[in-house]
Amino acid sequence: MYILDDKNAGDWAMGGASRWWLHHALESLNKALNGKLNIFQGEPQAILSKLVEETSAQTVVWNRCYEPWRIARDGDIKMAFKDADIEVESFNGSLLWEPWQVLKKDQTPYKVFTPYYRRGCLSKVAPRKPLAVPSKISTLNVSKDSLSLGELGLLPTIKWDTQMQARWDISETAAQDRLDDFVMAELEDYREGRNFPDKANVSRLSPYLHFGQISSNTAWHRAADAAAIINNEDSLDTFLSELGWREFSYYLLYHFPQLPTKNLQVRFNVFPWASNTEKDLRAWQQGKTGYPLVDAGMRELYSTGYMHNRVRMVVGSFLVKNLLVHWHEGERWFWDCLVDADLASNSAGWQWIAGCGADAAPFFRIFNPITQSEKFDKQGEYIRRYVPELADMPAKYIHAPWLAPAEILAAAGVEIGVNYPEPVMDIKESRERALAAFALTKN
């Protein structure tokens, strides 16, 4: 069964892109179960208690979730059933290692990724190998109280999902196929290739992992098994460590449940974020900052529900460091726009880029969107794909079109401030302003 629980989720009810993905994921799952999926919406404890009574069930089982609100809810459900002499079992269906399994020698949690992963995780029992698909699943008839998928109201009322429909195949089979394609054709060059947004060298498995359409254990072992056929061991190690980064995000959320809302480094509580940022925030959200790589990333996000990881770091740095907009604003926008919106990864990622997290990038590491673009999208192919008004700009000038000679702009049909915006700020001045703000947190 699936229960949509928006009530207990509170502020962390799924955003629009995630709800869209969930609709199609449930549709695919129901088809795989020959229409036997029970669908409910509301208070899970009440719904489950009624079903237990109707079916005379003796045991209730589920896979664990790690968001703070879900831990609290599931704990209450477990206690209620145990008090009623109903057996309850929960399982790890989404992580390689449980957060409480990996601790330092003094039994406190790690706060830095490398020792957490290299010294902590890799010293534990290896991730379990996935079980085979059951040959048979026995199910009851669908409950009379089960809703139709449409009754959940997950799809948008305004048709903004056309490009997303074309971009994704949302099914377990598609997840397995995507993993196979990645391992066989793209893993070899993953270590370097993952930095280039116009290349197909990232797995793009994150939404399938988030929604449980494939497990991190499957990804881990499929990649590890490919060691015999690839020559670049560094690429394999890097990919496995990226799965480790996903684990670390969940680990931080479990041990520091304030992660989505509070700076883990409390000295950032005095950071002087800019005021009156609505105009800059809107330009960033719409991909109209005047910095092509930033704009391309934000438009990829809105149109496909996804953004390349290298570009995520650039647009995040741009928002919090160049524009001095609070990282909460970026976190909320990603929450609504990403099909892989994950409370752990989203919160940890934004704290990392803002410099205020447990294992954060130093605040003075400010990504320059021009040099990043020149280095990782040299010919401007990624920019041309998502910022079509710059499609005819020569590669030499596409990264900073306002610096191009007038005749180059005219030949490309680009009018700065007319059909492509002027830069919202000067990159050098904004860097100096950010460093001055950061200095105030050192007192």
Active site residues per annotation: 242, 245, 273, 309, 327, 350
Contacts of residue 69, Cβ cutoff 8 Å, sequence gap at least 6: 8, 9, 10, 12
Can you spell out the DSSP letters for 313-344? HHHHHIIIIIS---HHHHHHHHHHH-TT--HH
Q: In degrees, to the nearest 5, what angle opens at C-alpha 288 toward C-alphas 374 and 12?
A: 105
Contacts of residue 249, Cβ cutoff 8 Å, sequence gap at least 6: 342, 344, 345, 347, 348, 349
Residues 219 and 131: beta-carbon distance below 8 Å = no
The residues pairing with 4 across neighbouring beta strands, listed in sequence order, are 41
Amino acid residing at 155: L
Burial 15-24 (b: 16+ CB within 10 A, else e): bbbbbbbbbb
Rounded to 5 degrees, what are φ and ψ at 10? Answer: 60, -125
How many whole angstroms separate alpha carbon 419 and alpha carbon 178? Answer: 37
Residues 293 and 372: beta-carbon distance below 8 Å = yes
CA atoms within 13 A on the CB side of 257: 7
